[in-house]
Every structure is written in C-alpha cells, then in structure tokens.
Chain A
C-alpha cells in the first residue's frame, strides 16, 4: 500500500517554512525523499535509515520515527527553486531489498 503524504499541496512565499509528512502502514527499513520538477525524473534529496535518525543539509532536513512509521521533511526559508512535487519513498522491512514505494506526493509552490 502506498504511503500517504500530507498536505497534498502547499503554497509558500519565499522565506517561509513548510513541513511535509509521510505515513506508512508498514514497518520500515528506510525512508527516502525526492523532489520532482515538471517533466523530469525525481531527484534524490536524502535517505533516513531505521534507527530513528534525523538528517539535513542547509535548509532541508528530515526526521524518521520508525515506531510510528512516519517521516517528515522540513523546508526552512524556502526559495523559489524549492518548487516542485515532493515524494517520500519507503523501503519496507519485508517485501524486497531496496524496493522503494513512492508516496502520494506533495505539490509545493514557492511564490515571490
């Protein structure tokens, strides 16, 4: 079953912050985060492994709560270049090594 993301869509002004959530019904080994621009393939942002870690670089970070099977992506001081559709990708503990199931997606639009 596909992980559910919230919100489905969000509009931000430059400089504002956003949080995107990803929730799975399965026990997870890892959570990936991707950003996709229109007409392009997804671009890998980061991976979080089982162990309840938090990762980040610059103004984009993420957390992974394996007990709740949830992950959140944090975008701070958003820039116009952050616009796109964000997908979480989950790797379940069972069901296939390195097999990633993509979430429902969150469309983010940053306006001046």
Chain B
C-alpha cells in the first residue's frame, strides 16, 4: 500500500525557536496534502491544505504566519512552526490522498512536538 513518512517523529525545542516537519509520500505523487494537529485526548483538527505549486489553504483560526506550509514537490510538504511556544506542543499528522484517486487518505506516522 501507499506510504507516507514524516520526519522527525519526535522533537523537543525551546520556546521561541522554529521547527520544521517534513511529510513525504514515498511511492505516489500527492498534489494535495493535509496537516492535522491533535491535542491529548482530543480529535484531529485540520489545520491547512497544502497544494503543490500554490499557496496553502488554512482553516479558520489557524495563523498562516505562524504555521508556514511549503509544498515543494509532488512528494514533499513541510510545516514550519515559527517561534514555537508551549501551547504549540501537540501531535502533528499529515495525510495525502493519491493524485487522481477519490479513495483513502494515507496518514504519516505523526510528529510529537514538545516546546519547553
């Protein structure tokens, strides 16, 4: 089956620093990728839709200047959390549907971000 990877799987950083999370589709092309955030004991909340070759679309309430998204190629999207603060600590998960397919979202394994 299709595989999506994320890197890093876990990151701890100091408050005020920026953190970059990569999401790669390993064996298929993804013109669209989705970024989710999940706080403990809560559901996954969609943050933004990453579009290859164009600007990302952000959900209401998500600061686009704080969560920078770049979809550099058909297999790579990056999420950069700028000037991270403890309240940004969360589980960040990306997903990608196969281009041209209406079926199935393939999820990355997630990145656990802890901001001290």
Q: Which of A56-64, A74-82, A97-105 contacts B (4 or more CB under 8 A)?
A: A97-105
Q: Given A47-B103, A98-B102, A41 and B108 touching (CB < 8 A)?
A: yes
In which size bucket is the chain A interface? 20 to 34
Least CB distance from B21 to A in Å reads: 13
B: number of interface residues (CB 8 Å) = 23
Cβ–Cβ < 8 Å partners of A42 in chain B: 44, 93, 107
> Interface SS of chain B: helix, strand, loop or mixed?
strand
Q: Are B105 and A104 in contact (CB-based, < 8 A)? A: no
Cβ–Cβ < 8 Å partners of A2 in chain B: 43
Interchain CA distance A40-B43 in the complex, whole Å: 13
Q: Mark B25-52, 1 if CB is under 8 A from A, else 0.
A: 0000000101010000011111001000
> Which of A41, A49, A98, A104 is B43 in contact with, Cβ under 8 Å?
A104
Residue of B nearest to A49 (CB): B102
Q: Mark A1-17, 1 if CB is under 8 A from B, else 0.
A: 01000000000000000
**Which 5 pairs between the two chains have the least Cβ-Cβ distance?**
A41-B110, A102-B44, A41-B107, A98-B97, A102-B43
